[in-house]
Structures are given as structure tokens and as C-alpha cells.
């Protein structure tokens, strides 16, 4: 089983739509969770950390479900500039300084 799994998409949505991505992780002892975005041939950029209580940053909301071992990202009022690949990142359980990336979920926001 892969350490981190994501639906590759693509998710094709119109501007203004709400879209949600999920990511599952295999190790229940993982402690750190993140969403990064990656534009084509660019470096990953931190979108947000994911906390146990859930957290929101503007149009973006992240949730962590430890019992089911998944994290989610909700994007409201999608903008054209949100088009990117969204990467789920989880650290290893015993290896807190080792990180696993999902393959990413591609989002295309259309006018």
C-alpha cells in the first residue's frame, strides 16, 4: 500500500465552484500533514498545514480525520489561478523528518 494516495483527477470545474479533494495515508502514527500546490514544472509551494481541529485560510479549508486516516482540502469560489496540482504531504511515523508526497490531484478551473 502506498504511504499517501490521492485521486489524480483532473477535476474540471467552472469559476466560482466549490471543489474538494481527499487524500489517504497509510501510517496511523503520522503527525504532520500538509497541502502543497505545484504549478507545471515548478516547485511545490505550501498551501496550508492541516491540524487536528481543522483549519481555514480564506477560501481554503483543510480537515484531518485520524480515525479514517484521510485529510481533505476544500476550495470555495474557485479562481482561474487555483488551477494547479494539489499535493498531499505526510510525514513518516517513526521518521518525523521523512516526508511522503502523494501523486497529486490536478485541478483545472475553467472560465
Residues lying near other proteins in the complex (CB under 8 A):
32, 34, 38, 41-46, 49, 87, 91-92, 95-104
Q: How far is the CB of 86 from other proteins (least distance, A)?
A: 12
Q: How far is the CB of 17 from other proteins (least distance, A)?
A: 26
Q: Cell 516526508, residue? A: 99
Beta bridge partners of 89: 34, 101
Instruction: In whole angstroms, give the CA distance from residue 62 to residue 64.
Output: 7
Indicate the residue among 78 and 104 with the shorter CB distance to other proteins. 104
Q: How far is the CB of 14 from other proteins (least distance, A)?
A: 27
Amino acid at each position: 500500500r502506498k504511504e499517501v494516495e490521492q485521486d489524480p483527477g483532473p477535476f474540471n470545474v467552472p469559476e466560482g465552484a466549490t471543489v474538494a479533494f481527499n487524500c489517504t495515508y497509510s501510517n496511523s502514527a503520522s503527525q504532520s500533514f500538509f497541502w502543497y500546490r505545484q504549478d507545471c514544472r515548478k516547485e511545490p509551494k505550501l498551501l496550508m498545514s492541516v491540524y487536528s481541529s481543522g483549519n481555514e485560510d480564506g477560501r481554503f479549508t483543510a480537515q484531518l480525520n485520524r480515525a479514517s486516516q484521510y485529510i481533505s482540502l476544500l476550495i470555495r469560489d474557485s479562481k482561474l489561478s487555483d488551477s494547479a496540482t494539489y499535493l498531499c504531504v505526510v510525514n513518516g511515523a517513526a521518521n518525523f523528518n521523512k516526508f511522503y508526497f502523494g501523486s497529486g490531484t490536478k485541478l483545472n478551473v475553467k472560465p
